[in-house]
Amino acid sequence: MRTRSVLVSLFAAAVLLGNALASAQPNGKEIRRDPEGKKGISPYMELIVKGEAAFVARDIPGAMSTFQEAIKSAPDQMLGFYRLGEAEIEQGKLDDADKTFEAGLSKKGSDDLKGKLMFALADIKERQLKWQAAKDGWTAYAAFLQGNAKVKGYPATATERIKQADRRMKDEVTYGPVKERIAKRIAEKEKEAIKNAQKDKLNR
């Protein structure tokens, strides 16, 4: 799933970059800038575009830094949080991405963007092996799609992921005690091996 997500993100980044530059720089002329983003590109969107360019170029630290700057310039906008979270995932910073996505949900953004953010948040809970939280996330995502018919999403994915979360939680209940006993035996064996090694050292 992550490979597909990365490809989708890269494609979305390229589209966003192209659209923003096309609207702000018509017919090859100088880029038009507008603080409100109506007659030209806003400082916020300019930073988002710059961050996307860094992301596409695989300069993930640069992308993260730029998205953070964008968030500071417009802390009430959802897009910066979504893109920063995606960049943090690429850096393996799942806990940071989790917090970023959570923060982003309360910000302003389109329903389509909110759907993407909810998908990403449920997905990251899975990666953290937080199965109940993942199930809750996919359930919320599915309900959001059902209540917003115009939003493009993946309801079938949510249904399958909910089932998987249930299976994983059931396995933890069933096999949890077994894993604990195995871990305990391994710890005892390791402790015994250390004692034997110490005895051997003293007998030399």
The partner residues of 41 in beta bridges, in order of sequence, read: 33
Q: Would you state the pLDDT for residue 204?
A: 65
Q: At what angle do helices 78-90 and 43-56 cross, to 10 degrees?
A: 20
Q: What is the mean pLDDT of residues 5-11?
A: 46
Mean pLDDT of all residues in 119-131: 95
CATH number 1.25.40.10 given to 1-109: yes
Give 29-57 pLDDT, tens digit per residue.
555 665 554 555 689 999 999 999 999 99
Where do you find CATH 1.25.40.10 in the chain?
1-109
- Whether the pLDDT of residue 168 is over 80: the answer is yes
Residue 7 pLDDT: 42
Size of the chain in residues: 204
Residue 13 has pLDDT above 80, yes or no: no
Q: Which pLDDT band holds residue 177 (cuts at 50, 70, 90)? A: low
Q: What is the DSSP string of 175-203?
A: HHHHHHHHHHHHHHHHHHHHHHHHHHHHH
Q: How many CA atoms within 13 Å lie on the side-chain side of 192?
A: 6
Q: What percent of the chain has pLDDT over 70?
A: 72
155-203 helix and 131-147 helix, angle to the nearest 10 degrees: 170
What pLDDT does 195 receive?
74
When pLDDT is cut at 50, 70 and 90, the band that residue 171 belongs to is confident
Q: How many CB atoms lie within 10 A of CB 104?
A: 25
Over residues 46-93, the pLDDT tens digits come to 999 999 999 999 999 999 999 999 999 999 999 999 999 999 999 999
